[in-house]
Structure 1
Amino acid sequence: MLMAMRMKNVAVTVACMLLIFSSLDVLVQANSADSVGPAECCFEYRTARLPKAGVKTFQRTHLHCARDGVVFTMRNNAKICADPAQTWVQGLITHVETNRP
């Protein structure tokens, strides 16, 4: 009887540990799923046009962000948010896409 209770306690302990470790794994994967995720959302947009020669790359913001946005990375590695609905932003995206090395 005593042996059966110990085995039951060990089984419950192992099951709890597996549950804890799998929960931690899910949290770690959720926080590192995307390089551009909710951590890089646009809260304000740049309204002035950016110089074409100064833009290195661009990325659209993550779907979980509250607002759609385009993050332009400049040659000096500054990141600038812009409204993707603006005509000048669409033109700059086209320029960057067509002039990729």
Structure 2
Amino acid sequence: TTKKKMMMMKNPVILMACIVLLSSLVTSDNTFGPDKCCFQFLHKRLPANRVASIEYTDKRCAMEGVLLKTVAGRQVCADPTMQWVKKILESFQPKNATTPGHEGSE
């Protein structure tokens, strides 16, 4: 009966170890930060005709920013509160559309 008790004690320990391991694997994706963040913004105005595409930074970034890819292939960060950046953002948005990931209040 001592062997049975030892086996019964080992099973819950193994089960708990498996649960902890699986839960750490499932949540490991959330421990990494966003891929692209802005740490400083472009200081001068970029002409709208030089912007090929826009991409918003992840909400988990310390600074909310917009990544502007130029027609030359260079990517720069811009402050979305600046008027010239707002105009560029508007030109890339279809009429009556909301900004992806930025709608509503939080």
TM range (shorter): 0.7 to 0.9
Residue in structure 2 matched with residue 19 of structure 1 by the alignment: 20
Give the deviation of 1:90 after TM superposition. 0.4
Matched residue of 2:7: which SS?
helix
One-letter code aligned to 1:49: R
Q: Which runs of 5+ in 1 are unaligned?
A: none
Structure 1 residue ranges (4+ consecutive) displaced by more than 3 angstroms after TM superposition: none
Residues 50-94 of structure 1 deviation map (CA, whole Å, 9 limit, x = unaligned): 232332221222222221211112334422100111110001111
| Higher-RCO chain (CA-CA 8 Å, sequence separation at least 6) | 1
Instruction: State TM-score, norm by structure 1.
Output: 0.75
Question: How many aligned residue pairs are there?
Answer: 94
Instruction: Please say if 1:57 is aligned against 2:58.
Output: no
Q: Which runs of 5+ in 2 are unaligned?
A: 96-106
1:36-51 aligned within 5 A: 38-51=34-47
Matched residue of 1:25: which SS?
helix
Q: Percent identity?
A: 28
Residue in structure 2 matched with residue 87 of structure 1 by the alignment: 83
| Aligned counterparts of 1:77 and 1:55: Cα–Cα separation in 2 | 9
| Aligned counterparts of 1:67 and 1:76: Cα–Cα separation in 2 | 25
Instruction: State TM-score, norm by structure 2.
Output: 0.72
